[in-house]
Amino acid sequence: MDDETRFWIAKEVADTKYTADVTPLFKEGKKFAGKVPHTFITDGAFNFESAFRTAYRRENEALMTQHIRHVRMSGDLNNNKMERMNGEIRDREKTVRGVKKPDSPLIDGYQIFHNYIRPHMALDGQTPAEKAGIVVKGRNRWVTIIQNASVKAPASS
């Protein structure tokens, strides 16, 4: 998640947090964002450290992304925003079946809802997309997103 806009960049459903290979998750985030972050904040899970080194290895050490992994819920460095979003997902997961299936569309749908539909109080009523400069026009954002997704791209010559 982008710290400033709270835009949910990448996702992965895993059976366990501490042993899952999250390298594909980090690579997906880098690909979606089109760049590497300056600072990468995670909790102390050891699998995050090895995946971080694999996904963000840089030839020039001076340009390397800083990985901060000694965060706590309080103090000068924390990942409260990410933990809050994880809590929202867990609350939804408790009431819905099939979330942990690899082909479940539920997490994708919730990511769209989080980024483009749901206003956030901490963003002064904006969605993360709006905060990032992406505007979805129309009375019903869901309908607009579906309509835009279903428009065929012009054939390339």
Report whether 92 contacts 82 (CB < 8 A): no
Q: Which amino acid is at 124?
A: D
Confidence of residue 59 (pLDDT cuts 50, 70, 90): very low
CA distances from 115 to 53, 85, 128 (A): 28, 11, 5
How many other CB atoms are found less than 10 A from the CB of residue 37? 17
Confidence of residue 153 (pLDDT cuts 50, 70, 90): low
In this predicted model, what pLDDT tens digit does every residue of 85-116 receive, in sequence order?
Answer: 778 877 877 787 767 676 778 888 889 999 99
Instruction: Output helix, strand, coil percentages for the chain, rounded to the nearest 5.
Output: 45, 5, 50
Using the Cα atoms of residue 102, residue 108, residue 109 and residue 114 in order, give the sign of their dihedral.
Answer: positive
So where are the chain's domains?
A: 23-150
Q: How far is 13 from 19, CA to CA, in rounded Å?
A: 12
| Three-state DSSP state, 57 | coil
User: Which residue would you say has higher pLDDT here, 121 or 76?
Assistant: 121
Question: What is the distance, to the nearest Å, from the Cα of residue 61 to the centroid of all Cα atoms in its chain?
Answer: 26
